[in-house]
Amino acid sequence: MDIQTIVKQVMEELQKGGQIKNSPIVKEPAETKESKGRNINYEKSSQVGVEQPANREEIERVQSITPARIGIGHTGTRMKTKNYLEFRIDHAAAQDAVFKDVSEDLLKELKLPVLFSKSETMDQYLMDLDSGRQLNETSRKWAAENLPKNKQVQIIVSDGLSSTGVEANIRDLLPALVQGLTSKKITIGDPVFIKRSRVWIQDDLASIVNCDCIISLIGERPGLATAKSISAYLIYQPNEDTVEADRTVISNIHEGGVPPVEAGAHLADLIEVILKHKASGVKLAQLK
């Protein structure tokens, strides 16, 4: 069941219970032939659900600084209907983020060549981690024949575990990163999109294009707080002896965390430092 179906059910159930009657948080204009099949928007708002709280102001303060379900109250041993239904919306959004594909229109808009890992299906990607860590033979051949070699930086965009995160952030993040690197006169290979790939696939591509630093902008595993987050993994000259500690990671890039434009500028500065010290991960942290 996709998120639009869940949202529709939630709105119907809330309306039956009188919980969203005349509420400004629901944006649902009257349906017409033209609007049939449209997306339905449901904007959540934090509300104190605790009956007769000892300190309402403190609950409201905490709610304002975290997306966690705090101060929602309960009915018997269960959460209230509104909160339960919003939980279902968040769960559906998380599932959509994992299983839906990044829009082809977006990839064309950003002029990103599409490569593929060895994962042929989403089930294989989720169950066989190694299949997402290497390019398939067709993509390896294409990369060897078409991508610029010996550049300082190679950029990868990956759907990872959140296509939603990529679609929500990459329009702002990628141009900001490229602009930052260009302003520093750092040479960049052609950015690529790799479908159903994991972080370690950057090692495989780096061996083909012979770059100094490779960065993966990859969809993060979605949670019930947000399904729109991506992370950036950076590594200096990976090889067969590379371990996780060799990677530098910037996570929580999304509108409620590190804004994508700000993240792009920061990543450009970070890459400059990596190239200067010829190190990343723990080795870089020990040098700084």
33 and 88, same domain (yes or no): yes
Three-class SS state of 67: coil
Q: Give me the number of domains the chain comprises.
A: 2
Binding residues for adenosylcob(III)alamin: 199, 220
Binding residues: 199, 220
* pTM, 2 dp: 0.70
197 and 75, same domain (yes or no): no
Which domain covers residue 108, as residue numbers?
A: 104-287
198 and 281, same domain (yes or no): yes
Tens digit of each residue's pLDDT, the chain (288 residues): 555 666 566 556 655 555 444 443 444 444 454 545 555 565 666 777 788 888 888 888 887 777 777 787 788 888 777 776 766 666 566 566 555 777 889 899 999 999 999 999 888 888 888 999 999 999 999 999 999 999 999 999 998 867 888 888 999 999 999 999 999 999 999 999 999 999 999 999 999 999 999 999 998 865 545 567 899 999 999 998 999 999 999 998 988 889 999 999 999 999 999 999 999 999 999 986
Question: Domain holding 205: CATH number?
Answer: 3.40.50.11240
- With beta carbons less than 8 A apart as the criterion, state whether 225 and 189 touch: no
Instruction: Compute the 3-state secondary structure of the chain and give helix, strand, coil in percent, each to the nearest 5.
Output: 45, 15, 40
- With beta carbons less than 8 A apart as the criterion, state whether 10 and 86 touch: yes
Q: Which residues contact 11 (CB under 8 A, 6 or more apart)?
A: 20, 26, 28, 40, 42
**Distance (Å, rounded) from C-alpha 150 to C-alpha 242?**
20
160 and 266, same domain (yes or no): yes
**Distance (Å, rounded) from C-alpha 260 to C-alpha 185?**
22
